[in-house]
A and B are shown apart, each in its own frame.
Chain A
Amino acid sequence: EAGVVQSPRYKIIEKKQPVAFWCNPISGHNTLYWYLQNLGQGPELLIRYENEEAVDDSQLPKDRFSAERLKGVDSTLKIQPAELGDSAVYLCASSSQGRYYNEQFFGPGTRLTVL
């Protein structure tokens, strides 16, 4: 079974440019998460989807960040315009409701560098 797929793996852009990240979760997983991980820190939740509904986006900086999961499967996270402080690893994870407590499966992440 394929794991969580993310692309691109690396992205380097100039500040003020837009950037988008794509995530395809594990087949059948209804919950999808986007996290931001700064160097030396743990992941911080940006947004959580249950199917196509964003059920927790309280930590998403909505002035420049947006996300969508139109058909309840894959998802896109966008930053426009990017700032220097956005340089980080953006992780996508998915999980399935079941008897195991919120076990999340992570993708390899997209490392963003803003110059």
Chain B
Amino acid sequence: TQLLEQSPQFLSIQEGENLTVYCNSSSVFSSLQWYRQEPGEGPVLLVTVVTGGEVKKLKRLTFQFGDARKDSSLHITAAQPGDTGLYLCAGVNNNDMRFGAGTRLTVKP
């Protein structure tokens, strides 16, 4: 059983559409991170959220940390083919970080 459940597991959309992916857990985290991983590469950090209810924006990406610091969402506006990749969330407590299985996003031109 994954500590962090990500949904959906796969998502295929057309360029220009909006989407939201989710990261849920029954555990409380001191912080939560989102990474994007492209084929043949390691994950690259997109954002760290720390405070319950926190919202961070990175261009067309909006990240939200749940009030109870157990869950998070990533919303992408007007998706582009360059957004294609595996989106991983990772919950952090002290130096312990656990990854979810990821959402594999494909944006078709």
Contacts and interface: CB of A to CB of B under 8 A. Distances in A.
Interface of A: 4, 31, 40-45, 48, 55-56, 91, 93, 100-109
A44 B42 CA distance: 13
A41 B4 CA distance: 12
Contact of A104 (B31, B45, B96, B104): B45
Nearest to A4: B42
Q: Is the interface of B mostly helix, strand, loop or mixed?
A: strand
Contacts of B44: 106
Contact of A101 (B4, B43, B50, B101): B50
Q: Is the interface of A mostly helix, strand, loop or mixed?
A: loop
B82 interface: no
B1 to A, nearest CB: 13
B42 A102 contact: no
A107 B97 contact: no
